[in-house]
Amino acid sequence: MNSQNKNKSERIKLICDYLDKLYPSPPIPLDHINIFTLLIAVVLSAQSTDKKVNEISPKLFKLASDPYSMKDLGQPNILELIKQIGLSKTKSRNIYRLSQIIIEKHNGKVPDNFDDLESLPGVGHKTASVVMAQAYGIPTFPVDTHIHRLAQRWELTNGKSVIQTEKDLKILFPKSIWNKLHLQIIFYGREHCTARGCNGMTCDLCKLLFPNRNEPILWIKP
């Protein structure tokens, strides 16, 4: 192996090749039944873990897997079912209200565009991006904490904001792989290049990309 740190174009190729071998077909981390339940799962995942969402969502989705049944369930019952999740009161209000709006304004169908999605309560750009990518197959690059952290460690962005990280990654990587790559990076960040387990010098991919790096990378949290 070349002992020199890789330049950016070399890093891009190495990252893609490495992650393709490790995660050839990355699954969607959040369990869901349909597009509506995917949207709800992503809303629930804000400031929570996918693992926790997957633990509590089956009971909720068994009772309400579409906006009509979710609206009929009512906010108090939604809250009772999701109370173990962080920000449960706010999320229960948002889930109830977005169900109403989807019924009233979108004929019960989850919107397939950013403007309408981001106008829903509790749905920001990242949530909308996940739905657009995983439900509708529209190329997006949702940036979560893992992607923001790894993009800094791999020197693909200055790390000033998740918005800037998203812009930088969209420029660097082919549009055709955005939806797959963002999942691959998330899985790698969870399993190998973790917040505490790697400092840009520890995991196999960081060492491959930067064999001469001798100072840890202190990432800027979003």
User: Is residue 21 among the annotated active site residues?
Assistant: no
pLDDT tens-digit series, residues 113-152: 999 999 999 999 999 999 999 999 999 999 988 899 999 9
User: Is residue 126 among the annotated active site residues?
Assistant: yes
Question: Exactly one of 89, 144, 160, 204 is catalytic; which is it?
Answer: 144
pLDDT tens-digit series, residues 30-85: 999 999 999 999 999 988 899 999 999 999 999 999 999 999 999 999 999 999 99
Confidence of residue 170 (pLDDT cuts 50, 70, 90): very high
Residue 14 has pLDDT above 50, yes or no: yes
Question: Exactly one of 6, 71, 91, 126 is catalytic; which is it?
Answer: 126
**Interior/surface letters 168-192, b for 16+ CB within 10 angstroms, e for the rest:** bbeebbeeeebbbbbbbbbbbbeeb
Rounded to the nearest 10 degrees, how much is the dihedral formed by the CA atoms of 39, 41, 45, 48? 170
**CB neighbourhood size of 78 (10 A):** 24
Q: Which CATH architecture has domain 8-26+141-209?
A: Orthogonal Bundle (1.10)
User: What confidence score (pLDDT) does residue 84 get?
Assistant: 93
Asked if 8-26+141-209 and 35-134 have one fold, the answer is no
Does residue 80 sit in helix, strand or coil? helix
Which CATH number, 1.10.340.30, 3.90.245.10, 3.10.620.30, 3.40.50.12780, labels domain 35-134? 1.10.340.30
Task: Please give the average per-residue pLDDT across 85-95, as a whole number.
Answer: 95
Confidence of residue 4 (pLDDT cuts 50, 70, 90): low
What are the residue ranges spanned by the domains of the chain? Answer: 8-26+141-209, 35-134
Rounded to the nearest 10 degrees, how much is the dihedral formed by the CA atoms of 142, 146, 149, 154? -80
